[in-house]
């Protein structure tokens, strides 16, 4: 088992935020969920994700790569969950948006 490192992703903040914003752009261009991402919501999402980045743990070791990837994906899903939950959306509604965003990001057919 690899060694756990907290704060590892702070120095990668810029790249992580870029990827997060790219995913939001994909969702904004989509007709189904794009209207939810107003400028205000987008700013909240970015701030929330920025606050989460220092808390993401990193595990050293080749065998931990997939686990680290899942932690990053979870962090990218946690930010919309927190923001949209505060705005009154249900967990099921938020999951649909996050699932759709993931499919757009991976290039799959979201519908």
Domain-embedded: residue 111: no
The answer for 88, left when phi > 0, alpha when psi is -120 to 50, beta otherwise, is: left
pLDDT in tens, 66-78: 999 999 999 999 9
- Residue 31 DSSP symbol: T
In degrees to the nearest 10, what's the CA dihedral of 60, 61, 66, 69? Answer: 30
**pTM to 2 decimals?**
0.86
Domain-embedded: residue 84: yes
- Rounded-to-integer distance, Cα 13 and Cα 50, Å: 7
Domain-embedded: residue 58: yes
**Residue ranges making up the domain that contains 67:** 4-106
Domain-embedded: residue 59: yes
Domain-embedded: residue 19: yes
Domain-embedded: residue 66: yes
| Structural domain total, the chain | 1
pLDDT in tens, 22-51: 999 988 887 678 888 889 999 999 999 999
């Amino acid at each position: 088992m690899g060694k756990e490192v907290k704060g590892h992703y702070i120095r990668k903040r810029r790249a992580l935020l870029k990827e997060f914003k790219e995913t939001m752009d994909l969702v904004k261009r989509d007709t189904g969920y794009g209207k939810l991402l107003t400028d205000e919501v987008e700013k909240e999402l970015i701030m929330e994700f920025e606050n989460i980045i220092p808390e993401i743990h990193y595990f050293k070791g080749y065998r931990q790569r997939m686990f680290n990837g899942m932690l990053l994906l979870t962090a990218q899903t946690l930010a919309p969950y927190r923001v949209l939950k505060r705005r009154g959306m249900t967990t099921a509604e938020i999951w649909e948006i996050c699932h759709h965003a993931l499919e757009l990001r991976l290039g799959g057919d979201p519908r």
